[in-house]
Amino acid sequence: MKATQKVDALLNHSSEKQQKNVDSIVHDVLDFGDLLLISSKGHGKTEALKTLASRFRAIPNTRVIIFEDFPKWIHEFQAIPFMRIRDKDVIETEHTINLEDVFLRHDKSFTVLRGPEIEQALKEHRDIIFLLQTESIEKTAFFIYSIVKHFYRIAYLRAYKGYQKHERIVFFVEESQNCFDSSTISKKIFNRLRKIFSVARNLGLHFVMASQRMQDLNPRIRARTRLMLGRVSQDDYELKIHRLLRHSEHRKEILEFNKGEWLYVAKDKKTKFPMLPEPQYKPYEICKPKILVRTERQPNGLKEKFMSALGEKFFEESEEDEEETEWDEFLTTEEEWLIDEEEW
């Protein structure tokens, strides 16, 4: 019995220590800017991000906006609204017809539709997940940019007019290489994001990002972030990471990290994220896309009514023909034509 109590005490002490480390990282990010998680696949990036997101959500005057292109958060995270963004919700600008439905538009680029729904969702809900079902990286990057730009404009106007209200926004971008690398998206979209990213911290906008390889992100982006490293690939270690960790006590150990172990480079501190308990309530969908039901136009005029009736009569006769006896199958093509001609 005593042995069990000791084990429980050690586990509780370990969990409390891990929680303190996570809280320290969260406040460090809010003070200094942004965070980038780098690790190979299967190391636990999503679990780490979910733990961080839950801690950010507990901080007053802090909003969490999550972008995901694979439906995992919407099944495993805490109770939070989520909104699906379909591929047809982000279209090329020249195809825009109804400007009243537009959320953000740029010439010679893309247009994000369902503007009233997106604005209402951002207004009514403090935190939200956007499930991106777009088919191209360009569309994904532009939608993320449109949401970031929305909050950037609000924060900029508050700062310009000297408002005292201070609200921090934390954006979670799991596959960050899809929108923060000029080699995968157009240079125009990348430059727009980089401009906001460079001044975001001063306006209370923060980014928590994750990627499998440090090389996949543009140097101008990763150089401005705090780094959290898990088990990395050998080639990423040889090209970049071994030089970054040249003064670290964990320089060689990082290649053999167990799943869930991370190194916070800014403080050269090894940590492990505690597992989140099973949530009582799951994320719920808002602003469900409307399904349009195609209805047939009713015939108008004597000619259309006559042709419609003729078509229905022909359809009924065709069904009756299928129910004829089997000997019809043995008629030759010429005999069938003669029978049809006589009937006609």
Q: Is residue 187 part of a domain?
A: yes
Q: Is residue 332 part of a domain?
A: no
Q: How confident is the model at residue 181 (pLDDT cuts 50, 70, 90)?
A: confident
Cα angle value 132/44/215 (rounded, 5°): 75
Q: How confident is the model at residue 117 (pLDDT cuts 50, 70, 90)?
A: very high
**How is residue 98 written in tokens?**
């109804």
Q: In sequence order, what are the beta bridge partners of 168? A: 62
Q: How confident is the model at residue 268 (pLDDT cuts 50, 70, 90)?
A: very high
Domain that holds residue 217: 10-285
Query: For residue 221, is pLDDT > 90?
Result: no
Q: How far apart are CA 342 and CA 344, in angstroms?
A: 5
Q: Is residue 292 part of a domain?
A: no
Q: Which residue has the higher pLDDT, 94 or 88?
A: 88
Q: Is residue 108 part of a domain?
A: yes
Q: How far apart are CA 173 and CA 40, in angstroms?
A: 16
Query: For residue 82, is pLDDT > 90?
Result: yes
Query: For residue 99, is pLDDT > 70?
Result: no
Q: Is residue 290 part of a domain?
A: no
Q: How far apart are CA 221 and CA 199, in angstroms?
A: 12
Q: Is residue 337 part of a domain?
A: no
For the chain, how many structural domains are there in total? 1
Q: Half-sphere exposure of residue 320, counting CA atoms within 13 Å on the CB side? A: 6
Q: Which residue has the higher pLDDT, 61 or 190?
A: 61
Residue-level pLDDT at 278: 85
Lateral strand order in the sheet of 284-285: 269-272, 261-264, 225-229, 34-38, 205-211, 168-173, 62-68, 128-133, 81-86, 284-285
**How is residue 43 written in tokens?**
């190391």
Query: For residue 321, is pLDDT > 50?
Result: no
Query: For residue 168, is pLDDT > 50?
Result: yes
Residue-level pLDDT at 55: 94
Q: Is residue 291 part of a domain?
A: no
Residue-level pLDDT at 11: 35
Q: Is residue 130 part of a domain?
A: yes
Cβ atoms of residues 173 and 144 within 8 Å: yes
The CATH number of whichever domain residue 142 belongs to comes to 3.40.50.300
Amino acid at 149: K
Q: Average per-residue pLDDT in the chain? A: 80
